[in-house]
Structure 1
């Protein structure tokens, strides 16, 4: 485990703007920075970074935390891996100390898998370059495909020999355990216990994660055994989830940022061939349909995608169906089809680097025009097919969020399809209304109280308390209490008795007999109490370091505001907007009153339930007396608040 001193040093050096800025384009917004969420396919920025607090908050996905949490979320790193990444980034020496046996075992297991995959990659490379079978079969194949030795080494290509257990024996001789080899997907155990290599007599394409570590392999068969698949991939493991990986992204990510565009192709060899032509901002979905996670990966680096289709009309029609997902992901999509019988690998070798790049630039079209022309040929004069085509094209256009772009595309499609623009607009509006209705369907899941101010939930004149869900309203008030403590617990206030006192001490004394109902807010309150009993007043930063995962997530919410009053109101227009910290006395006092007010309402509701079920006269009299006393307290608090009417 990394020592606390080292962790503290890493946190002191980290600039969250630098860390997050490696993944998303941040724009200043007041004292914060904002961007489109890297975790969702939103169209309006709701991802905020607050450098003064060292935290980020993504309002679209709910994720939030510090720079370490961001790396864990964005790259799927463990806590220790994120710390090591930051230590390397800022040149900090890692000092480690002992950790629990369970945590150490889990960490070592994952590290062992990475080490084993790297060993396998080195093993396959050695066979390719040093062993006779690898050189005569694997290396010859790559060179015949036109791959240079430099490209072969850059992509760390290799070869697996035609033997049942060559890797297994080599790995075990080096001390690697058989169960780890199976967990990594490198060997297979048949019924009966026979163990053999998964990859045999194949050229090997290592698949890297975004950090450059090998997590899986793609393998192409060179023989003519029709019983074996042409391509064989690693199974999904702890390291490898194929829906979250794009082949070549590690090698391409810097060039994608530089060019602000990515080329999307189908296979491993397509990626490598295009690299050799000088087009290095290229990735592959590895022959599988695009997934939402892969689209999010792309969007981290650019909003512009050009899809390159092989020169096969049937194949284009089959694969273009998934392009709508790119549009839904908020990406600007262009497409280009290669001549019949060609793919990026073969055509790049045929034309050469300059001519191939020129062809891509000249022939690419926006995806709507491309799709319309493609299916228009198929529809020909068949009215049924033509009607289906029109609906399909309009459905694709509705995936585009920008209404101006939609209008332009509808006009263009009207000309191409020979149908009135009004008819297309009518179909579009029908689909948009349907989409809007689907998005407004109620969501029954409750993930905690929404970020609204409890004072917005005050009981209106003439409204009975039991008409509200008082329990949830209490939870909202508990959230507001936690928010005040997290942000201002170290501040001082002048109490109602005109005595200067620490806000935290005053608050805790006033709510000493109150038990919070929400477990997260209760834990936050208990941490404040415990540390105060030790003579220490803590704040949100302490909770981010020492709280549970649930507490850390909620503290980020409590410390982050999506909206901020522009400083221009005061500087430019001389309009002074009161700041919350200037009114801590009133905020704290009224917050405590509202919390007590809601609790009293809840007690009244509970007593009324008992009263309805009571049959004993003495019990009824006692309940009536208690309700009367609670009502008096409720009225007193309501009058103190000054804006609540209670019947």
Structure 2
């Protein structure tokens, strides 16, 4: 359903982009803006920039850009309407909409529909826990035995599902949710009847306490369920299957409840189970998450890295816990995070041990017994090796192998000193071993790359390319392009031969850039940022640029569209500003043109670098682009460069035609040469004005 435009505007005015993005990644102030490692691609150095004044973000690494609505759409992978509803809920903006019908749901995309039906299931499980005799007698009693209080149960939205075949199915159908949607959400199962009989549908979760799994923004995307009765035919824990909204390798249990505490404490505690997270949270240790349902994955580590670079793994002290800790160790190091490990006493897990010690004593235990990965590994190797020198050497090599995973060279060098101290060997021998392992990794990587290349070469099929020939230029076109330099094209006849080819439009998606695309981009940047500035009394930059370009069309599609919008607005007596493009996104935001325009505007209004405060402190003055003289010169030179590249393109096309002159009449060849010399004189004149050195 469509949200009224006045409501959309209220949502936008209420939204603070810093608050919105801080829900998903930790921002740090730099100058007047804020930076972070980008949540949309893997990086170690922050290139994600947020401008609180203009309420926009821009990543200089992957190119993602937009406003708060676009950020929510991209990070949550949801549609425009759902992003607006998310922000409206966050900022308490009421949206007046009719109650959704099953037909409305069908018109929404699958992801949004799944989120809605999963939220229904969560509420149904909560109500079953609190309002039914079975729920209170079994489910709530279990949570009470674990020591969970009402605020904790509410915080994690815990629930219970009846020990019946189709309690959720029947309620879902009564509410108008299709069985197909319930099945796609992983809530029901379908079984073929015997002997070709009718299909049977039943609830996936029956007679279990329910642990909703939330994404970073707090939406329920899946469930974990624990059975309470003894039944060897069923697994103790049962998780939702992977769906459009749930990929278990990318999710951490408790991240929504923990993200603010992780940011404040600047460390994330990583455990294994649901109840570990809940018990520690209730004890006041809220910066804790779990990798439930899967071994630790790279995606989960990167999710933690959005909020802190520091991770402490809290695993059980048994063999399985040690194995799990060692398995995740190198993965954490490889992502550039700072790692500590803590194994609890044998037979204990975080849930049981925090109940035994109490919150404060448990915090003290963490601080006193956490080890860095070198001490963690070394203590085990030294215990196992005893006086065996070969085992000690094997242990040194194993620790060095973990150090090679660290991307930071300075960290590797510092840690090599620690290894030498712990194992009582020379630092040079440790460095030599690290370098040997690095060379081995590089050699293996090169072999893998060559093998993939050979495989790719065998499978590659070449297909002939094609090029289109645009219409030939008219005399009016030439006068429009080059009349500013006192050259009249009327003395030349239009060619009667094959039309002159022009370069293919730049394909930004594949990073194909032509020289003119950079100058077109600079022209649009000047227009967006300074179009209304007067270069001299009564002459704005917009007026100057548009008059100089006259009927020239840009070859980069989104830039040409923006130029056209400037021309249309100027013809009405208006001059567009950055805000006209940054706020262009509307209820029709899914249209690619609007998205391209907003993306371009953000790119061209967001400076990547700022003047160092040290320069200002020492009174090192840097001329500002906004000074009229500098701005006028920038616009003048930009126009000259555009026209020079256009002349060069026409010259290159004429040269190609001259190479084929053997198949033409002498008159046609002479005409081509005359035209070439015409453009050559223009090129020389522009080069002179730009102060470019011309050879030959």
TM category (shorter chain) comes to: 0.7 to 0.9
Match for 2:680 among 608, 624, 631? 631
**Are the structure 2 counterparts of residues 552 and 151 from structure 1 closer, same or farther at C-alpha, using a change threshold of 3 Å?**
same
Residue 217 of structure 1: CA displacement?
A: 0.6
Asked if the contact 1:26–1:35 (Cα under 8 Å) also holds between the matched residues in 2, the reply is yes
Residue matched to 1:537: 575
**Are the structure 2 counterparts of residues 104 and 388 from structure 1 closer, same or farther at C-alpha, using a change threshold of 3 Å?**
same
Residue 349 of structure 1: CA displacement?
A: 3.5
Residue 286 of structure 1: CA displacement?
A: 0.9
Asked if the contact 1:277–1:357 (Cα under 8 Å) also holds between the matched residues in 2, the reply is no
Residue 525 of structure 1: CA displacement?
A: 1.9
Query: How many angstroms apart in 1 are the aligned matches of 2:202 and 2:14?
Result: 48
Residue matched to 1:482: 524
1:431-454 deviation line (CA, Å, top 9, x unaligned): 667889989x99x9xxxxxxxxxx
Query: How many angstroms apart in 1 are the aligned matches of 2:44 and 2:438?
Result: 16
Query: How many angstroms apart in 2 are the aligned matches of 1:491 and 1:92?
Result: 37
Residue 203 of structure 1: CA displacement?
A: 2.1
Query: How many angstroms apart in 2 are the aligned matches of 1:523 and 1:54?
Result: 23
Asked if the contact 2:214–2:222 (Cα under 8 Å) also holds between the matched residues in 1, the reply is yes
**Are the structure 2 counterparts of residues 626 and 233 from structure 1 closer, same or farther at C-alpha, using a change threshold of 3 Å?**
same
1:595 and 2:642 aligned: yes
Query: How many angstroms apart in 1 are the aligned matches of 2:28 and 2:557?
Result: 36
Q: Mean alpha-carbon deviation: is it higher for 332-341 or for 227-236?
A: 227-236
- Map 1:260-409 to 2 at 5 A: 260-378=266-384, 386-409=392-415
Query: How many angstroms apart in 1 are the aligned matches of 2:436 and 2:623?
Result: 44
Secondary structure in 1 aligned to 2:574? coil
Residue 482 of structure 1: CA displacement?
A: 2.0
Asked if the contact 1:335–1:366 (Cα under 8 Å) also holds between the matched residues in 2, the reply is yes
Secondary structure in 1 aligned to 2:306? helix
**Are the structure 2 counterparts of residues 482 and 206 from structure 1 closer, same or farther at C-alpha, using a change threshold of 3 Å?**
same
Secondary structure in 1 aligned to 2:669? helix
Residue matched to 1:175: 176
1:263-309 deviation line (CA, Å, top 9, x unaligned): 11011121122223332221111131333432233233322221111
Residue 74 of structure 1: CA displacement?
A: 4.0
1:585-620 deviation line (CA, Å, top 9, x unaligned): 211111111111112212222222233334224243
Query: How many angstroms apart in 2 are the aligned matches of 1:196 and 1:25?
Result: 43
**Are the structure 2 counterparts of residues 584 and 135 from structure 1 closer, same or farther at C-alpha, using a change threshold of 3 Å?**
same
Query: How many angstroms apart in 1 are the aligned matches of 2:154 and 2:12?
Result: 37
Residue 396 of structure 1: CA displacement?
A: 2.3
Asked if the contact 2:325–2:341 (Cα under 8 Å) also holds between the matched residues in 1, the reply is no
1:507 and 2:513 aligned: no
Match for 1:622 among 668, 671, 676? 671
Residue matched to 2:609: 563
- When normalised by structure 1's length, the TM-score is 0.85
**Are the structure 2 counterparts of residues 27 and 435 from structure 1 closer, same or farther at C-alpha, using a change threshold of 3 Å?**
farther
Query: How many angstroms apart in 2 are the aligned matches of 1:103 and 1:569?
Result: 59
Secondary structure in 2 aligned to 1:216? strand
Query: How many angstroms apart in 2 are the aligned matches of 1:30 and 1:353?
Result: 39
Q: Mean alpha-carbon deviation: is it higher for 2-11 or for 55-64?
A: 2-11
**Are the structure 2 counterparts of residues 107 and 284 from structure 1 closer, same or farther at C-alpha, using a change threshold of 3 Å?**
same
Residue matched to 1:525: 563
Asked if the contact 1:471–1:602 (Cα under 8 Å) also holds between the matched residues in 2, the reply is no
Query: How many angstroms apart in 2 are the aligned matches of 1:532 and 1:572?
Result: 43
Match for 2:633 among 575, 586, 591? 586
Query: How many angstroms apart in 2 are the aligned matches of 1:493 and 1:430?
Result: 62
Residue 384 of structure 1: CA displacement?
A: 6.4
**Are the structure 2 counterparts of residues 481 and 214 from structure 1 closer, same or farther at C-alpha, using a change threshold of 3 Å?**
same
Match for 2:215 among 206, 209, 219? 209
Residue 628 of structure 1: CA displacement?
A: 1.9
- Map 1:599-610 to 2 at 5 A: 599-610=646-657
Query: How many angstroms apart in 2 are the aligned matches of 1:568 and 1:422?
Result: 39
Residue 476 of structure 1: CA displacement?
A: 1.7
Query: How many angstroms apart in 2 are the aligned matches of 1:557 and 1:215?
Result: 33
Q: Which consecutive residues of structure 2, in runs of 5 or more, have no partner in the other structure?
A: 194-198, 454-502, 507-511, 585-592
**Are the structure 2 counterparts of residues 290 and 57 from structure 1 closer, same or farther at C-alpha, using a change threshold of 3 Å?**
same
Query: How many angstroms apart in 1 are the aligned matches of 2:331 and 2:176?
Result: 46
**Are the structure 2 counterparts of residues 388 and 227 from structure 1 closer, same or farther at C-alpha, using a change threshold of 3 Å?**
farther
Asked if the contact 2:295–2:324 (Cα under 8 Å) also holds between the matched residues in 1, the reply is no
Query: How many angstroms apart in 2 are the aligned matches of 1:597 and 1:118?
Result: 60
1:34 and 2:35 aligned: yes
**Are the structure 2 counterparts of residues 104 and 183 from structure 1 closer, same or farther at C-alpha, using a change threshold of 3 Å?**
closer
Residue matched to 1:448: none
Secondary structure in 1 aligned to 2:603? helix
Query: How many angstroms apart in 1 are the aligned matches of 2:671 and 2:437?
Result: 62
1:506-531 deviation line (CA, Å, top 9, x unaligned): 32232233332222222222222233
